[in-house]
Structure 1
Amino acid sequence: MQPLPFGRLAARLPVLAFLLLSLLLSAPPAPAQDTAELLPVTEAYKLSADATTPGVLKLHWTIAPDYYLYRGRMKFKGGDGVTLGEAQLPDGEKFHDEYLGDVETYHHGVDASIPYTVAAGTTRLTLSVQYQGCHEVDPKICYPPHTEKLDLPLPTRTDATAAAGNALGAALGRLGSSAGGGSVGAPLPAEQAFRFEALAQGPQQLLLRWTMPKGYYLYRDQTTLKLADAAGLTLKPAWPAGTAHHDEHFGDVVVYFDQVELPVTVEGDLAGRQRLTLQASFQGCQDGGLCYPLMTRAVDIDLNSGAVASRAVAAEPPPAELAGGPLQVSLVAALLLALGGGLVLNLMPCVLPVLSIKAVSVLESGENRATARRHALFYTAGVLCSFTALGLGILALRAAGHALGWGSQLQQPLLVGALACVMLAVGLSMSGVVQFGASLGNTGASLASRSGPAGDFFTGVLAVVVASPCTAPFMGSALAYAFAAPMLSALLVFVALGLGLALPFLAVGFVPALARLLPKPGRWMETLKQVLAFPMYLTAAWLVWVLANQRGADAVGLVLVAMVLLAMTLWWFERSRTRGVASRIAVAVLALATLAPMYLLAHVPPPSAAAATEQGVVAYSPQKLAELRAAGTPVFVDMTADWCVTCKANEHAVLNTQAFRDLLERTGAVYMKGDWTDVDPDISAFLAQYHSPGVPLYVVFPRNGGPGRQLSTVLTPSMVEQALTAAAR
């Protein structure tokens, strides 16, 4: 039987394509922001009732960890014919609450006993129970007062035991009915739920704007405005008509949904002032969900230019031009940017090794136009299917509240180790250790019959997987659009990226003039194939280096053992072609042995976070950034990852140069770096704040406390110098 060419490598390994996609989409997602973990109120505080004792109702709350109930916020009201006595509650833990003063709280659980009497003819024990509690760790959010209505059968003194089961069942069946009603989604962080902007429309006229997502509202009468260091000046707001709302806590109030714009007149003599510092304190709620504690945002307003800069850096949204989100880019523009980004992606170093496989198969096709078209179509199908699957996976996980971005699948050590092994296997095949096909130098009439559609498809899959660490020019805006757009529009952007990546090979396959520019097939191609094996080995080495930064030396040792066992498996597989069944069983045993270190790799914990910081670099944290900004220090924030090839290129060309260090010293700026090689919720939140689909992200914060300026994903020395010089003024 005539051996098959290298172009059918994946025809013998089609399962690798599905394995890679499975690993890509089934890898555990990065943890979502903390607010997604908040429990519904009835799960945070599970209430049960026991009315088996005549004249006494016993209530019990089971309180989840990290939650507490206020003693003073418990209220009990009897229904028709029911008169309640004073509730008997144990003493709680005493502490001073920032908003409620001296309070008592309960953790873990609490019991209450309520004496009651009923009027003649009353057959049911009905009452309402109101309580309020908070989540005591980040995000520190308090629930609104929650009311549950209980409807229990009255026990008889002669059959109290039998009535107990009915009472408890009735109580449990009634739990969960509150004034808000209905179920609500997980609450957003405060800075996303209530976006605040301010600008000057004139020397003495300001415009304040709050923007809330659907289902959130702002209280009018819980909002206060004041100017800092502005004696003699007062603010006169002109509130627009709002929505009348009955609130269980504040009574009849006026609230605003979606967005509210508030004109504010500055009364008094400005005396030549150029800037004002406005402090706005406000409170709002998720309809039927949580009420947020009082929020305070401080903004600096330039009375001449109208610019506004927030002082609450760690909690504020991006500057006004970004507040509208990435959907300010039209769908057509996003598709064109995605097509261009995918096209440029062919030139990125992370994709070039895999493209060498495709280049060899294209050269194999020679003058056979049908074969060239088949290569192009199946490769394109692999690329488009992979981009679609990747897009669906990312969008589905993000819709579920998980923090997932472009390239973040390489935060999963198991996938990184598996890719390193795949690159090694491809390199060994190209070097001739194992042959999945005949010499590439053979030409002739049988060329067309030796083309493998599965191999072309698999090459497309592999190209997409290894392309994820790269962010080509034009891709940033397109991906940001995709992560915020409706599902169909987002998928079109991912398809356009894939089409751009596959476009060069489609052109060669379907444009004869381009195909004639390719060199003629010959025996020299065997040497070319072996030379192209070395980029594969380098890619495998790079992936092992990424793994070392994610999980340390233990993970590197495991993946190296797996790679040695894989090499042994392929070597013995080649020798077993002419041997008996025992040799083939040995191949299977070696293949299974290769999986053992990969299983152990998936369970290696991250190394301790005591890594030394680079000289002159400050590790990112929201608190440290806020401290630097409050001190009036310009800050250059660099969000990067070891698997991000674009990040490393920028570091080599700009950020790790003496010129950049001199620029930092000259401007007095601090270089702050966030490492997203592994999962980090703080960095994920920062990326989301700037609508960035992944890394790299560069933001320059100015000395005067103004909004951060987001730079391009591809840096130049002049761009960085201009941004830092402006920030230092």
Structure 2
Amino acid sequence: MLSLPSGRFAARLLLTLAGLLAGVPASAQSTQDLLPVTEAYKLSADASQPGVLKLHWTIAPDYYLYRGRMKFTGGDGVTLGEAQLPDGEKHHDEYLGDVETYHHGIDAQIPYTVAAGTARLTLSVQYQGCHEVDPKICYPPHTEKLDLALPAGAGAASAPAQGFGAALRAIDAGHALGAGSAALPAEQAFRVEALATAPDRLLLRWTMAKGYYLYRDQTALSVPDAPALKLVPAWPAGTAHQDEHFGQVTVYFDQVEVPVGIAGDLQGRRQLTVQAAFQGCQDGGICYPVMTRSLQVELPAAAANGAAAATKDDAIAAPETGLLLALLLAFGGGLILNLMPCVLPVLSIKAVSVLESGESPARARRHALLYTAGVLSSFAVVGGVIVGLRSAGHALGWGAQLQQPLVVAVLACVMFAVGLSMSGVVQFGASLGNTGAALANRSGPAGDFFTGVLAVVVASPCTAPFMGSALAYAFAAPIAAALAVFLMLGIGLALPFLLVGFVPALARRLPRPGRWMETLKQVLAFPMYLTAVWLAWVLAHQRGADAIGLLLVAMVALAMALWWFERSRSRGAFSRALVLVLAVLVAVPLYYLSQVPAPTRAAATVEGVVAYTPQKLAELRQAGTPVFVDMTADWCVTCKANEHAVLDTDAFRALLTKTGAVYMKGDWTDVNPTIAAFLQQYHSPGVPLYVVFPKGGGEGRQLPTVLTRGIVERALTEASR
């Protein structure tokens, strides 16, 4: 006999069952033969006796109900006593331990009282059961809402239902539309997130599992602790759907983002609790009861007229950088990026290309100009995308493209391919000793330009000193000023090679070409391989071992394609066509990698580290505890450098003990609207972000992106006074 435990293990069990059922022979009973939940367990209610509600379930053959999975909740003005349930059939369940179950039927009685003026007897009845023969499957917990007339003398006359609640009571939310494969728990089938895009605007995002959809018109938004505020959603176009219960409706599959306006006086609120009630179904399967989620949203400061503005308390977080200073900081930050470890592998490529140019000034200038064009074009594209998304009300941070697993995997393959080229497996450009000069004339400029593009891509996980303020200015500045800041970053990044290309005195100091350069080129391939390894490590944190397996398959296919590409140079058309076939094989595992779901992340268990949530931060601050907030990501090289040098040390842990501070960490490796809202609140373009909240209250102090022990010690010492 199969039973269903609660919690995360239940979700895993349901998924396992779904996979096992997929392999059942055609002769076995199909899941399509399962009854809808309300036919497997038919519930009837009798409220004719004052003060006692009688319930009866008629249970279909081969189905059973759990006694311990029944729950009864009274509605407005209704107080329920202890339910009187008969003893069930006792046995030991593999997952739940000792349980009692019911077959065929069950009668229950629930005493109740109603408050004066209560018009109807309303309550929710939750139960759960299973099918005990093939296919063995358990239904998700099911809730039915009862709305019954009170017997004479038990309450006042009934009142008409109004509004959204009446619409929900018009249908039993748990009725099945049919029985398909085992359904996911509601928390996995429907995920909802919220973030503030302006002081009076929110963005709600629903993400549905594959094969599930959300009703547009069965959704209600409210602010329970501020009833005067009204939330006005602007729903995008959805999919037309003919529904058994509601008729022609609009639904959403996969994901939907809904801009929501806040109407009413916020009265300086910095945090809002949004309650979202919504309903959805499995396509061709069960419909879920109405789900209610409470979402905490951090709001940016607002001026009296409703526009965003920094208050006096926000002065420490607001960017006060002028355009000229922002340009200088961007130039300095771009220049220092050349020394960051994430850019070093690409500099290896450029070092070889400049050395290969020998003493030819024309070739040196060409290398420098094309590399600079690639850098500036890439920064212009990044700036344009960020400005465009900002204008549309979306939030995007520096390095946020590495939150996308497919981008990480493709970039790892690119670094791997470049390493293979430098190792001599494949020749993309000209070889040393002027071999293949014709090929160089065609592919050399493209290679220089692409190297500049690659430098910008791999530089994004790094944040150099001076960059933080410049990027914060760019993320909030007018379009022209923002683009100027990004272009100045590019000029700083490209400057060393511009100088080498256009200053003959520097070029003359470069070593003369020779056979030793081939060895150097092969040695410099290994930083490229290490970069690919680092990106694979990031991917493992984002999507787990399955994604790493698919990435390794893609890399093997890529190596095969490049190997055959080199061999096909002197062969016929068939050999060159085979290169295209092998290249397509690289895309297959990458496609499946993009479908791998994110693993369930457990709460932080590292000793001395508290996982960031707005609620926990507010609780600590209310208690008068100083807090060090660290917003980080696995792909952020600057974050990892700070952890190694300062935060993951015995000295830092001793400092926390001395000051009584709590170390709170937020992980932005994947998309996380809660952390994005915190970054936006402090005008941070990305991670790392470090904020120290003082013991006695007041606004947090934002620290530089590159930490030293002295900076952290001074900040925590002051916060603990």
Give the TM interval when normalised to the shorter protein: 0.5 to 0.7
Aligned residues: 467
Contact 1:394 1:404 in 2 (8 A): yes
2:314 equivalent to 1:320: yes
Aligned to 2:431: 439
Rounded Cα–Cα distance in structure 2 between residues aligned with 1:693 and 1:189? 28
Counterpart of 1:578 in structure 2 is 570
Residue 423 of structure 1 deviates from its aligned partner by 0.4
Q: Which segments of 5 or more consecutive residues in structure 2 lack a partner in the other structure?
A: 1-118, 125-158, 169-218, 233-257, 271-299
Deviations 1:34-89 (A, max 9, x none): xxxxxxxxxxxxxxxxxxxxxxxxxxxxxxxxxxxxxxxxxxxxxxxxxxxxxxxx
CA deviation after TM superposition for structure 1 residue 447, in Å = 12
| Partner deviation per Cα, 1:129-157 (whole Å, 9 max, x = no partner) | xxxx97237997766699xxxxxxxxxxx
Question: 1:617 corresponds to which letter in structure 2?
Answer: V
Q: C-alpha distance in 1, partners of 2:691/2:392?
A: 28
TM-score, normalising length from structure 1? 0.59
Does the 8 Å CA contact 2:330/2:488 hold for their aligned counterparts? yes
What SS is found at the alignment partner of 2:665? strand
Kindly state the Cα deviation for residue 416 of structure 1 after the two structures are TM-superposed: 0.3
Does residue 707 of structure 2 align to residue 633 of structure 1?
no
Alignment of 1:171-190 (within 5 A): 186-187=260-261
Q: Any idea what SS the aligned residue of 1:402 has?
A: coil
User: What secondary structure does 1:471 align onto?
Assistant: coil
Amino acid at match of 1:548: A
Does the C-alpha gap of structure 1 residues 489 and 386 become closer, same or farther in structure 2, counting only changes over 3 Å?
A: same
In the TM superposition, residue 513 of structure 1 has moved relative to its aligned partner by 1.2
Q: Greater CA deviation, 471-480 or 573-582?
A: 573-582
Post-superposition shift, 1:441?
4.5
Q: Distance in 1 between matches of 2:550 and 2:662?
A: 38
1:554 to partner: Cα distance: 0.9
Give, in whole Å, the separation in 2 of the partners of 1:92 and 1:425: 69
Could you say which residue in structure 2 is the equivalent of 1:106? 163
Q: Could you state the TM-score of these two structures normalised by the residue count of structure 2?
A: 0.60
How far apart in 2 are the matches of 1:211 and 1:579? 67
1:478 aligns with 2:470: yes
Which of residues 518, 526, 533 is equivalent to 1:534?
526
The equivalent of 1:726 in structure 2 is: 718
Q: How does 1:544-693 map to 2 (within 5 A)?
A: 544-610=536-602, 612-693=604-685
Task: Please report how far the alpha carbon of residue 483 of structure 1 lies from its aligned counterpart in structure 2 after TM superposition.
Answer: 0.4
- When residues 449 and 192 of structure 1 are mapped into structure 2, their CA distance, relative to the original with a 3 A threshold, is farther
SS in 2 for 1:682: helix
**Corresponding position: 1:366 with 2:452:** no
Q: What is the CA-CA distance between 1:508 and the residue it aligns to?
A: 0.8
Structure 1 pair 445–627 and aligned structure 2 pair: CA distance change class (3 A): closer
Separation in 1, partners of 2:598, 2:680: 24
What is the CA–CA distance in structure 1 between the aligned matches of 2:651 and 2:221, rounded to whole Å? 48
* Partner residue in 1 for 2:222: 136
Whether the aligned pair in 1 keeps the contact of 2:333 and 2:464 (CA below 8 Å) is: yes
Task: Please list the CA deviations of residues 677-709 of structure 1 after superposition, one character each: whole Å capped at 9, or x if unmatched.
Answer: 001111101101111000000011111122211
CA contact (8 A) 1:214 1:258 kept: no
Instruction: Report if the CA contact (8 A) 1:92-1:106 is conserved.
Output: no
Match of residue 505 from structure 2: 513
For 1:535 and 1:345, how far apart are their aligned partners in 2? 17
Q: What amino acid maps onto 1:624 in structure 2?
A: K
The structural deviation recorded for 1:398 is 2.1
Equivalent position of 2:41 in the other structure: none
- The CA RMSD over aligned residues, in Å, is 3.5
2:373 to 372, 377, 381: 381
Query: Higher relative contact order by CA 8 Å / sep ≥ 6: 1 or 2?
Result: 1
Q: Shift in Å at residue 494 of structure 1?
A: 0.3
The one-letter code matched in structure 1 to 2:314 is A
Does the 8 A contact of 2:540 with 2:548 survive in 1?
yes
- Report the CA distance between 1:544 and its aligned residue: 0.4
Counterpart Cα distance in 2 of 1:677 and 1:626 = 23
Alignment of 1:117-156 (within 5 A): 135-136=221-222
* 8 Å CA contact retained: 1:345, 1:351: yes
Q: What's the offset of the Cα at 1:602?
A: 1.0
The alignment-based identity, stated in percent, is 69
Partner residue in 2 for 1:335: 327
**1:151-300 mapped onto 2 (5 Å cutoff):** 186-187=260-261, 194=268, 212=302, 216=306
With over 3 angstroms needed to count, the CA separation of the structure-2 counterparts of 1:510 and 1:444, relative to structure 1, is farther
Distance in 2 (CA, whole Å) between partners of 1:139 and 1:429 is 61
Q: Deviations over 1:488-516 (max 9, x none)?
A: 00000000000100011111111111111
Q: Which letter maps to 2:509?
A: L
1:522 aligns with 2:514: yes
Say yes or no: does 1:456 pair with 2:513.
no
1:415 aligns with 2:399: no
Q: How many angstroms does 1:317 deviate by? A: 7.6
Cα distance in 2 for partners of 1:620, 1:185 equals 25
For residue 33 of structure 1, what is the aligned residue in structure 2?
Answer: none
Question: Hey, what's the Cα distance between the residues in 2 that align with 1:144 and 1:436?
Answer: 60
Q: Distance in 2 between matches of 1:396 and 1:108?
A: 40
Asked if structure 2 preserves the Cα contact closer than 8 Å seen for 1:93 and 1:106, the reply is no
What are structure 1's unaligned runs of at least 5 residues?
1-89, 96-101, 112-132, 147-183, 197-209, 217-256, 260-315
Residue 588 of structure 1 and its aligned partner are, at CA, apart by 1.7
Structure 1 residues 444 and 187, CA, compared in 2 at 3 Å: closer, same or farther?
closer
Q: Counterparts in 2 of 1:28-67, with a 5 A limit?
A: none
Note if contact 2:229-2:263 (Cα within 8 Å) is conserved in structure 1: no
Contact 1:380/1:499 (<8 A) preserved: yes
| 1:29 equivalent in structure 2 | none
Secondary structure of the equivalent of 2:261? coil
The amino acid of 1:351's aligned partner reads: V
- The 1:584–1:192 alpha-carbon spacing in structure 2 relative to 1, beyond 3 Å, is farther
Deviations 1:360-391 (Å, cap 9, x if unpaired)?
A: 11111121111111111111110001000011
Distance 2:396 2:349 in 1: 30
SS at match of 1:415: helix
| Distance of 1:448 and 1:574 partners within structure 2 | 15
C-alpha spacing 1:354/1:192, structure 2 compared with 1 (3 Å): farther
1: CA distance, partners of 2:350 / 2:264 = 49
Q: Cα distance, 1:626 vs. partner?
A: 0.8
Q: Kindly report which structure 2 residues correspond to 1:488-503, keeping only aligned pairs within 5 A, or say none.
A: 488-503=480-495
For the residues of structure 1 that align with 2:346 and 2:263, how far apart are their CA atoms?
41
Asked if the contact 1:700–1:723 (Cα under 8 Å) also holds between the matched residues in 2, the reply is: yes
Q: Deviations over 1:495-538 (max 9, x none)?
A: 00001000111111111111111111111110010000000000
Distance 1:635 1:105, change over 3 A: farther
What's the CA shift for 1:479?
0.2
Give the drift of 1:584.
2.4
* Contact persistence 2:345–2:531 (CA under 8 A): yes
What amino acid does structure 2 have at the position aligned with 1:692? S
Query: Contact (CA 8 Å) 2:429, 2:440: kept in 1 or not?
Result: no
Aligned CA distance change for structure 1 residues 144 and 526 (closer, same or farther; 3 Å): closer
The amino acid of 1:396's aligned partner reads G
Cα distance in structure 2, aligned partners of 1:337 and 1:718: 23
| Aligned-partner SS, 2:333 | helix
